[in-house]
A and B are shown apart, each in its own frame.
Chain A
């Protein structure tokens, strides 16, 4: 829930419209006129589309918008539901490889995909050792970049990354 609250703040929407449906364990966004949105992706996309700020945030082309959709789905179904170590290891490795030649998840600027993946990965990255952060260096580089982007981090703790190489291959 913290991620959508931060997203609402980032896009200048009132956070009070957000609540959690306890029975179905799903996030709900209620507008004054009765319009209701349910689910992480649906709410996030609704807010991004209706925001007057950050036009590029939802993608600049059909291709970019489709890629953003895909990564939001990946966050919801792969990252959020990974409760076994092998599932967690798989997505960390995959994302690290994916980001090898990229600054942002999609396109050349910060998008909704970066925003929600940053929030989805925060606690996991916080618990990595410096050795692991170095091992997943592309993921770490991306994360450090996003956490320093204006207004993204908000109340999340700033995670430290080592700028110089701590461990050399021969030592391990």
Chain B
């Protein structure tokens, strides 16, 4: 199986960790930033797993689960839930936040409020559990570990998160201790410096925004406009 990726691609972490964990050899092919791999897609998404010649998995979550399932298949509803949550709830706020902090050095604090709400619920769900699913270590853990890595470790770490989310801390530490995850980090993150994720973050297409978060932004703008008005009136 071929894995197409680029230097410092964050979504490759989960895939490589899963491949290490299941002992599946991947032929890694490094593309240039912004290069297109899947012939039928307009967007230049990476990483892409070529399962058979011409058969692509361009969703990193589906590909991560596939790699683990090749070794031993699960059809667990908790794994469904966390992969859906990660791609549809977390990514639309996490990706632009990482772009703002790693890409431009100007963290968008508005996004951080949404991320913290999500982290709080993740922390709650981890109570009394070693891994996200009752079945044990699964794609759900690798997917979330990989996505949250630059937020919970390294140069751009979210200050004080360990105290706020102690259950996430226990889980994240256990994940980081896995040899498969350590190997993935050395392969993706140059010298352990999360600043090396910048080029890829800036070249990958952003997830489409959530409609109800758009409204929140509008509300915030409205409030700002109101303040401006008040000032003028005074």
The interface of chain A, by Cβ under 8 A from chain B, is: 25, 37-42, 45-46, 49, 62-63, 65-67, 69-70, 73-74, 76-78, 81-83, 87, 90, 93-94, 97-98, 100
With both chains docked as a complex, state the minimum distance between the C-beta of B78 and any C-beta of chain A, in angstroms.
9
B230 within 8 A of A: no
Contacts of A90 on B, CB cut-off 8 Å? Answer: 42-43
**B207 engages A77 (CB within 8 Å):** yes
Instruction: Look across to chain B and name the residue whose beta carbon is closest to the beta carbon of A93.
Output: B42
With both chains docked as a complex, state the minimum distance between the C-beta of A86 and any C-beta of chain B, in angstroms.
10
User: Of the 9-residue stretches B79-87, B176-184, B190-198, which lies at the interface with chain A?
Assistant: B79-87
B208 within 8 A of A: yes
User: Of the 9-residue stretches B26-34, B53-61, B105-113, B157-165, which lies at the interface with chain A?
Assistant: B53-61
User: Of the 9-residue stretches B13-21, B64-72, B96-104, which lies at the interface with chain A?
Assistant: B64-72
**B211 engages A81 (CB within 8 Å):** yes
B210 within 8 A of A: yes
**B57 engages A66 (CB within 8 Å):** yes
**A76 engages B65 (CB within 8 Å):** no
B233 within 8 A of A: no
Contacts of B41 on A, CB cut-off 8 Å? Answer: 94
**B87 engages A46 (CB within 8 Å):** no
Point out the residue from A65, A83, A100 that lies within 8 Å of B211, measured CB to CB. A83
With both chains docked as a complex, state the minimum distance between the C-beta of B218 and any C-beta of chain A, in angstroms.
13
Instruction: Look across to chain A and name the residue whose beta carbon is closest to the beta carbon of B210.
Output: A81
**B65 engages A69 (CB within 8 Å):** yes
**B40 engages A70 (CB within 8 Å):** no
Point out the residue from B43, B57, B63, B84 that lies within 8 Å of A39, measured CB to CB. B84
Give the CA-CA distance A73 to B209 in the complex, in Å. Answer: 15
The interface of chain B, by Cβ under 8 A from chain A, is: 39-43, 51-52, 55, 57-59, 61-63, 65-66, 69-70, 73, 75, 77, 80-81, 83-85, 87-88, 91-92, 207-212
Please name 10 further chain A to chain B contacts, defined as beta carbons within 8 Å, in addition to the given A46-B77, A70-B57, sorted by A numbering. A41-B80, A42-B77, A42-B80, A45-B80, A66-B62, A69-B61, A70-B63, A76-B84, A90-B42, A100-B40
**A73 engages B42 (CB within 8 Å):** no
Instruction: Look across to chain B and name the residue whose beta carbon is closest to the beta carbon of A25.
Output: B212
Given contacts A39-B88, A62-B73, contact A70 B58 (CB under 8 A): yes
Give the CA-CA distance A87 to B42 in the complex, in Å. Answer: 10
Given contacts A69-B59, A70-B58, A94-B42, contact A62 B208 (CB under 8 A): no
Give the CA-CA distance A24 to B207 in the complex, in Å. Answer: 19
With both chains docked as a complex, state the minimum distance between the C-beta of A107 and any C-beta of chain B, in angstroms.
11
Give the CA-CA distance A66 to B80 in the complex, in Å. Answer: 11
Instruction: Look across to chain B and name the residue whose beta carbon is closest to the beta carbon of A79.
Output: B208
Instruction: Look across to chain A and name the residue whose beta carbon is closest to the beta carbon of B77.
Output: A46
Instruction: Look across to chain A and name the residue whose beta carbon is closest to the beta carbon of B212.
Output: A25
Contacts of B62 on A, CB cut-off 8 Å? Answer: 66-67, 69-70, 73
With both chains docked as a complex, state the minimum distance between the C-beta of B2 and any C-beta of chain A, in angstroms.
14
**A66 engages B208 (CB within 8 Å):** no
Give the CA-CA distance A21 to B51 in the complex, in Å. Answer: 37
Contacts of A45 on B, CB cut-off 8 Å? Answer: 77, 80
**A76 engages B88 (CB within 8 Å):** yes
**A63 engages B208 (CB within 8 Å):** no
